[in-house]
Amino acid sequence: MTRRRALLAASGAALLAGCAGLAGPGADAMPTRDPALWPFSPDSPWNTALGDGARFAPIRSPHMDPTQGAGINTRQWSHPVHIASADDPTVSIYRRGERTPVRVQRVPVDARPDPMSDGALHLIDAARRHVVELWQAERVGPDRIVAAAVVLNNLTDAGVYPGWHGARAYGGSALAGLIRTGELERGRLPHVLAVAVRPQALNRLGPDGRAWVWPASAADGGDGRRYGTEGNLHMGSLLALPPSVDLRTLDLQPGPETALAHALQDFGACITDSAAGNLVFYGEPAVHPAAQAIRPATLRALVAQLQVVTNHTPHSVGGGGVRRAPTAPAFQRSL
């Protein structure tokens, strides 16, 4: 077993242990979670399930066809995540063209960016509380990484910000909505998912006069100039399967297919980026085998029934009301 695989296996075990509520003698057996594996606060829009107050509208977009299905990016145009341990080497992380490092922290020796031009790479510190999110990253030596964008985010906050503060177009954390190792295999995706659509499918004329809607705080190019001017899809829009969709009628296979379907109905998927495909989900690279188990026909069946949640706002997250899934557990106090 390679060191990377060993770390992934250990990470999965840590998440299972945390969510099982394992604790010391005499402690209350309350479920907890590891922010490195399941990030952001319990009240984050990324961890808040849809409510029975959610209102839905069919997707209207000249360049997004709900009948054309979706893809899941795992090995290319994805978001590799590496979690440091106390014995990993110290690495200086620079913004390209600058002489002073933005951050110095321990980084696994095998940490490499996604091979495509976005070059995403996300480095969680050994304390498992912060992530350095990188765009167009390059590992130029054993102790040096450079990137066009370097952003430090707290894994225990909400994961959304008033301005651009991540490595995705929508402005928030790139870890938000990412399918993480073990989630599809365990049959549970307990959070909102991140998706991308073609830039022309997005309407840059948002209801507030901006090229995005909450929880997004930015757009491609700053102003979404490549977006269209029609339809009800905006950067930041929440898509979901309405409760009227009976998942039992969709011929879902147990495991990854069922997990994805329930996530889309219980939490939904937020548009966080633009892509060349009709609709794209994102998983870290180790998710690839489980993602491959989801049949194209299943993706078409699910996407065909997605609708826009029209009242997803800071004051009515997920539409408000009685939630379809429990609140995310508290974080582990020590790791």
> Residue 32: its pLDDT value, please?
96
Q: Does any domain span residue 44?
A: no
Shared domain check, 26 and 161: no
Shared domain check, 8 and 95: no
Task: Kindly report whether the peptide bond that precedes residue 215 is cis, defined as omega within 30 degrees of 0.
Answer: yes
Distances in whole angstroms, Cα of residue 15 to Cα of each of 22, 63, 331: 11, 39, 11
Shared domain check, 190 and 134: yes
Going 313 to 314 to 317 to 320, the CA torsion angle's sign is negative
The helix (H) or strand (E) run that includes residue 10 is helix 3-19
Q: Does any domain span residue 168?
A: yes
Task: With H, G, I as helix, E, B as strand and everything else as coil, classify residue 258.
Answer: helix
Q: Does any domain span residue 143?
A: yes
The residue segments making up the domain with residue 225 are: 56-314
Structural domains of the chain, count:
2
Tell me how far apart the alpha carbons of residues 330 and 310 are, in angstroms, rounded to a whole number: 29
Cβ contacts of 145 within 8 Å, gap of 6 or more: 91, 92, 93, 94, 107, 121, 134, 137, 138, 139
Shared domain check, 73 and 19: no
Q: What is the largest CA-CA distance in the chain?
A: 60
Shared domain check, 132 and 273: yes
Shared domain check, 125 and 269: yes
Q: Does any domain span residue 21?
A: yes
Shared domain check, 95 and 25: no
pLDDT tens by residue, the chain, 335 residues: 333 333 333 344 444 444 443 333 444 567 999 999 999 999 999 999 999 999 999 999 999 999 999 999 999 999 999 999 999 999 999 999 999 999 999 999 999 999 999 999 999 999 999 999 999 999 999 999 999 999 999 999 999 999 899 899 999 999 999 999 999 999 999 999 999 999 999 999 999 999 999 999 999 998 999 999 999 999 999 999 999 999 999 999 999 999 999 999 999 999 999 999 999 999 999 999 999 999 999 999 999 999 999 999 999 999 999 999 999 999 998 65
Cβ contacts of 261 within 8 Å, gap of 6 or more: 241, 247, 250, 252, 298, 302
Cβ contacts of 66 within 8 Å, gap of 6 or more: 59, 303, 304, 305, 306
Give 248's DSSP letter: G
> Residue 335: its pLDDT value, please?
57
Shared domain check, 121 and 11: no
Tell me how far apart the alpha carbons of residues 320 and 307 are, in angstroms, rounded to a whole number: 17
Q: Does any domain span residue 187?
A: yes
Shared domain check, 186 and 85: yes
Q: Does any domain span residue 319?
A: no
Q: Does any domain span residue 243?
A: yes
Shared domain check, 116 and 15: no
Going 223 to 228 to 234 to 235, the CA torsion angle's sign is negative
Tell me how far apart the alpha carbons of residues 131 and 36 are, in angstroms, rounded to a whole number: 8
Q: Does any domain span residue 262?
A: yes
Shared domain check, 166 and 107: yes
On the 0-12 / 13-18 / 19+ scale of CB atoms within 10 A, 307 is: buried
Shared domain check, 235 and 101: yes
What pTM does this model have? Answer: 0.91
> Residue 24: its pLDDT value, please?
38
